[in-house]
Homo-oligomer: A and B are copies of this chain.
Amino acid sequence: MGAGLEIPLDRILLGDCIETLRALPPASVHAVFADPPYNLQLRGTLHRPDHSLVDAVDDAWDQFTDFAAYDAFTREWLTECRRVLRKDGTLWLIGSYHNIFRLGTALQDLGFWILNDVIWRKANPMPNFRGRRFTNAHETLIWAARSEDAKYRFNYAAMKALNDDLQMRSDWYIPLCTGNERLRDEAGNKLHPTQKPEALLHRVILSCTQKGDVILDPFSGSGTTGAVAKRLGRRFIGIERDPTYAAAAERRIAAIQPLGDVETAPTPTRKEQPRIAFGSLVERGLVQPGATLTDRHRRWAAQVFADGTIACGTARGSIHGVGAAVQEAPSCNGWTFWHLVQADGALKLLDVFRTELAG
């Protein structure tokens, strides 16, 4: 703690991000988690196929005139965060393709040292309704030390334990914040447009801090960082300029019961089912385009295409759809119906490939 500045702990500070950061003492926090505006640049309105309206992020705080303005803002608050961060502290950022490249570049230019980029793979993302792009199913986090030569904390064993005794990878599979976890106003509408799931912050905080450490969130919003920090026995400082959000976060955090020393055991995360698409067998060359599939009794023969579809007679589509069509059945599990005709004429059930890949 320096310069006689006090560090206000376990509160949401109401005010402008940069000004408030400037009032904090240097080298005083162990970690920063920042979820800045994404600068989404949405143009029109978007409807679902059922004509319902997609509730977009159109808030004033996400509007910037151009990349230069966004970059200038980014560098200002990142500079202050770096000043406030202890030499052995680390910083987390989260963003999407709209802004994450600006953030990463600024980070590197300011002297931070990137340790990992981490992918939050969303279990249940919003689909792409118009079919014009890939489903945007992830967000990117960046984890960085204050400088290249800095010591930093990484709780390797905790992360490994959280991942069934395998090293924690840089891709994390976590559901969106929905249901009862999502804060709502009196009318039942979501209080904050971009509330992050507690599971995400749980992993972040557990990975790089210990009990009693101070975590700063300069864009506190709905207060997820503070809530998880308190539950895990960490201290926090939140900064938020919207009084409604700040008040809701204070109430939310006040209701949190900190875990005892014993129960600080990591919450088990939902296990992901390995899902294999037939197309990936084609991509990987395990099944060649042009190959022949047949059923157990060799009654039907189907040909494989480069896109992972198959064709049999006039039917073309997935292994499941074509299997159903030839049998005139309402549905069919193509994995257990179709066999690959191998070079020697022997049959190999597709499901065997799947088992091999998943294992």
Residue of B nearest to A116 (CB): B134
Interface size on A, residues (CB 8 A): 109
Q: Is A303 an interface residue (CB 8 A)?
A: yes
- CB pair A199–B284 under 8 Å, yes or no, is yes
Does B51 contact A327, Cβ atoms closer than 8 Å?
Answer: yes
Oligomer copy total? 2
CA distance A320 to B252 in the complex (A): 35
Q: Assuming the A-B contacts A97-B114, A115-B133, A314-B359, are A51 and B329 also in contact, with contact meaning beta carbons closer than 8 angstroms in the complex?
A: yes
As a 0/1 sequence over residues 240 to 283 of chain A, the CB contacts with chain B under 8 angstroms (1 = contact) are 00000000000000000001101111111000000001111011
Q: Report yes or no: A268 in contact with B316, Cβ–Cβ below 8 A.
A: yes
Q: What's the least CB distance linking A209 to chain B, in Å?
A: 12
Instruction: For the complex, give the distance between the alpha carbons of A82 and B137 in Å.
Output: 27
Q: In whole angstroms, how far apart are the Cα atoms of A192 and B289 in the complex?
A: 27
A154 within 8 A of B: yes
Known: A97-B116, A132-B156, A168-B134. A285 touches B199 (CB 8 A): yes
User: What are 21 A-B pairs with beta-carbon distances under 8 A?
Assistant: A67-B108, A101-B105, A104-B105, A119-B121, A127-B167, A132-B154, A134-B143, A134-B170, A135-B167, A136-B170, A161-B307, A163-B277, A164-B279, A164-B308, A164-B318, A165-B320, A199-B284, A202-B306, A232-B306, A259-B289, A259-B306
